[in-house]
Amino acid sequence: MSVKPPVEIIPETFSYVFSPYREPIAHVAQGQRVIIHCEDAFESRILSTGDLPSRSLADAKFLNPQTGPIYIEGAEPGDVLAVSIEEIEPTRDFAVSCLIPFFGGLTSTSLTRTLQPPLAEKVWVWRLAQGRLVNDELGLSLPWQPFMGTLAVAPDLEAITALSPGPFGGNMDVPDVCPGNTIYLPVWNQGALFYTGDTHARQGQGELCGVALEITSKVTVVFSVLKGRQISWPRIESGDRIMTVGSARPMEDAARIAYAELVGWLVGDYGWHPADAYQLLTQAGGLYVGNMVDTTYSLVASIEKAYLGRSRANT
């Protein structure tokens, strides 16, 4: 869509909150191809198997540095921001994962408290080689399937830690936030105030230990602004599916949000009766866990476009 030369955004400092209180680091136009440089979730403090989190992260007051906010021209409160993700290019030749004390899906945490000691720390380094991720210690090679763990707009009045997912997007850790897909977010501030970071070379559903294959990267996106639309939670569109993301605890609340929003999408844009949308999603909907480790859990509900009939155009 864009014929202008791409704009490249290289941050000098990072944000650890999705905040309406920070000055934009860049202004971009709709339709403009934008290349955004991102740090990894640990701000490159963990680079080898010896960089145990309790030491390497000891001086890190905050984690998950975000590039932003980016001001999108023409975005106003009440609009919808569409983010078309074109490409994620790694900027180093390896990814890291690790076990962090009291963080992850199979350990007690600061929110699910017990009196037990933490699991032992460990760091894994995976090489990027010929389009795959290779861990020699494990003898494993996995496909390169990158996505942005974090992608957000600034909330309304609030400034929320970059570790949180929410209605504003944020740290959803949802693998469908990937090249080829378009993400829709509500807009609460002039210019939308977009943030992204926490790129992952790949991740399983749930992000079980809490740390995916973390990379530094350049992500290429194109923004557009939808006027006269109203959404409450993030939406994702791929070639053949539409998806909604709900983030909440307990996990069933995230599931309910995701599916209720998907019912609303079918009703609002495709003319379905709510009960019939409920029936279709019962028989053909998808529902997977994006993350089971963050401040709230993110679940993704989806349906194939082929089943939806006449659609209201999204752009």
Among 13, 58, 59, 112, binds a second copy (CB under 8 A): 112
> What does DSSP assign to residue 5?
P
If the CB atoms of residues 43 and 86 are measured against a second copy, the closer one turns out to be 43
Piece of 26-34, 82-90, 111-119, 223-231 that binds a second copy (CB under 8 A): 111-119
Q: What gap in Å lies between CA 284 and CA 282, rounded to an integer?
A: 6
Restricting to residues 135-174, name those near a second copy by CB under 8 A: 138-140, 142, 157-161
CB of residue 211 vs a second copy: minimum separation in angstroms?
A: 7
Residue 162 near residue 15, CB atoms below 8 Å: yes
CB of residue 128 vs a second copy: minimum separation in angstroms?
A: 13
Q: Count residues contacting a second copy (CB under 8 A)?
A: 80
If the CB atoms of residues 174 and 221 are measured against a second copy, the closer one turns out to be 174
Nearest to 81 by CA among 30, 39, 145: 30
Among 75, 215, 297, 298, binds a second copy (CB under 8 A): 297
Place of tokens 């210019």: 191
Residue 37 near residue 11, CB atoms below 8 Å: yes
For position 64 contacting a second copy by CB under 8 A, the verdict is: no
Q: Degrees (nearest 5) of the Cα angle 197, 177, 66?
A: 10
If the CB atoms of residues 26 and 301 are measured against a second copy, the closer one turns out to be 301
Restricting to residues 272-291, name those near a second copy by CB under 8 A: 274-276, 278-289
Among 107, 220, 224, 244, binds a second copy (CB under 8 A): 107
Among 5, 13, 58, 114, binds a second copy (CB under 8 A): 114
Restricting to residues 14-43, name those near a second copy by CB under 8 A: 16-17, 19, 21
For position 44 contacting a second copy by CB under 8 A, the verdict is: no
Restricting to residues 243-272, name those near a second copy by CB under 8 A: 248-253, 255-257, 259-260, 263
**Cα separation values, 127 from 69, 143, 233, Å:** 31, 12, 35
- Exposure letters 148-182 (e unless 16+ CB within 10 A, then b): bbbbbbbbeeeebebbbbbbbbbbbbbbbbbbebb
Restricting to residues 194-233, name those near a second copy by CB under 8 A: 202-213
Among 29, 47, 124, 218, binds a second copy (CB under 8 A): 124
State phi, psi for 101 to the nearest 5 degrees: -55, 130
Number of neighbours of residue 220 by Cβ within 10 angstroms? 18
Residue 311 near residue 240, CB atoms below 8 Å: no
Q: What gap in Å lies between CA 164 and CA 35, rounded to an integer?
A: 24
One-letter amino acid of 31: G
CB of residue 294 vs a second copy: minimum separation in angstroms?
A: 12
Piece of 79-87, 115-123, 177-185, 189-197 that binds a second copy (CB under 8 A): 115-123
If the CB atoms of residues 161 and 182 are measured against a second copy, the closer one turns out to be 161
Residue 173 near residue 203, CB atoms below 8 Å: yes
